[in-house]
Amino acid sequence: MSTIKNHVQLVGNVGQEPTITNLESGKKVARFSLATNENYKDSKGEKQTDTNWHTVVAWGKVAEIIEKYVTKGKEVGIAGKLKTRTYETENGNMRYVTEVEASEILLLGSK
C-alpha cells in the first residue's frame, strides 16, 4: 500500500519545449509543462473540454530521454509523485509550487 500513497499518472501533451539543465554534479534535470484534457457534456448536452496544466520535473536517465525524444506537442505518459517546494520572492513573500516529479515516461502518439 505504501507505493500508492503519493503516486501520479498523467497522459497529456507537452506544452513547451523541455528545458534541460546540466548541474555541476553531472546530473541532468528536465522541466516542462503538460496539458491534460478532460471531456464532458454540459447541462445543455454540448461537449466541453477542461484543460489542466502540470509542471513536470525529471532527473537523471528520465531527463536524458526527455532531452532526446520529447518536443512541444508530443503526447506522453508520466508516472511519478507530487513534490511541493517553497521559495521567497524578492519582496519577501513566500511562494509554494507543486510539481510532478517524473520517475517514468512513456512516449505516445506518432513519431
Q: What is the pLDDT of residues 54-84, one digit of tens each?
A: 999 999 999 999 999 999 999 999 999 999 9
**Cα distance between residue 98 and residue 107, in whole Å:** 23
Q: What is the pTM of this model?
A: 0.84
Predicted confidence at residue 109, as pLDDT, reads 77
d(CA 67, CA 104): 14
The set of cell numbers assigned to 32 is 516542462
Distance between CA atoms of 48 and 22, rounded to whole angstroms? Answer: 41
**Buried/exposed 75-111: b ≥16 CB within 10 Å, e otherwise:** ebebebeeeeeeeeeeeeeeeeeebbbbbebeeeeee
Per-residue pLDDT, 4: 73
7-38 pLDDT tens trace: 999 999 999 999 999 999 989 999 999 999 99
Q: How far is CA 95 from CA 33, 85, 86, in A?
A: 19, 8, 6
